[in-house]
Amino acid sequence: MQNDERHLQWCLKHSKGIRMAKPSENLVKAYLQKSRNALKSMEVNAQAGLVEWVVSTSYYAKYFVVYSLLSKIGIKCEIHDCTITVFEYLFSDTIPKEILKDLRNSKENRVEAQYYTQELRIDLEQVIKKTKQFVLEIEKVIDDLNTEKISELQKKLKSLDSSNVNSQSQKWQNHY
């Protein structure tokens, strides 16, 4: 946990890291669509036997639905590891641990598939099934978010480093 908190602190300080922004339904919809497009691409790639692209689009389907969730809360982040870390931090009490771990594992698998040349041995049906389950689970979380829950999550993030988050918030809210 201490390592995660240090990483969160780093992400809060980095200019492309975690920033508070105005919650945006337009971004929520756009990133949900990106997630759905990645799901479609994953299935097409699976039918073609393109394993590395199945792994990659699986990750992006998950990443985009999580980014949609964060957009609903009013969190912006341009660093994937920071996005994953803030997702784990904010939802460690409400989303099953295996779902939380799945996003990080998918990112690691994507890196392996895209940047290294060893042959991948994966169960394509299992990847597709788990990806769809992940996306569905996060879509339910998005649907269940209300103003009160969004406020609680924003406060949880701000409590990490009030002065840093608030300064980031001011900087980025002026940007929008």
Q: What is the mean pLDDT of the chain?
A: 87
pLDDT digits (tens, 9 = 90+) for 19-64: 999 999 999 999 999 999 999 999 999 999 898 899 999 999 999 9
pLDDT of residue 134: 97
pLDDT in tens, 73-104: 999 999 999 999 999 999 999 999 999 899 98
Exposure letters 141-166 (e unless 16+ CB within 10 A, then b):
bbeebeeeeeeebbeebbebbeeebe
pLDDT tens-place string over residues 147-157: 999 999 999 99
Three-state SS at 76? strand
| Confidence band for 112, pLDDT divided at 50, 70 and 90 | confident
Closest by CA to 69, choosing from 54, 55, 88, is: 88
Structural domains in the chain, CATH included, are 2-99+113-168 (1.20.120)
Task: Considering only residues 108 and 47, tell me which one the structure prediction assigns the higher pLDDT.
Answer: 47
User: Residue 176: pLDDT above 60?
Assistant: no
Comparing 89 with 161, the larger pLDDT belongs to: 89
Question: Residue 168: is its pLDDT beyond 70?
Answer: no
Model pTM? Answer: 0.87
The helix (H) or strand (E) run that includes residue 157 is helix 147-158
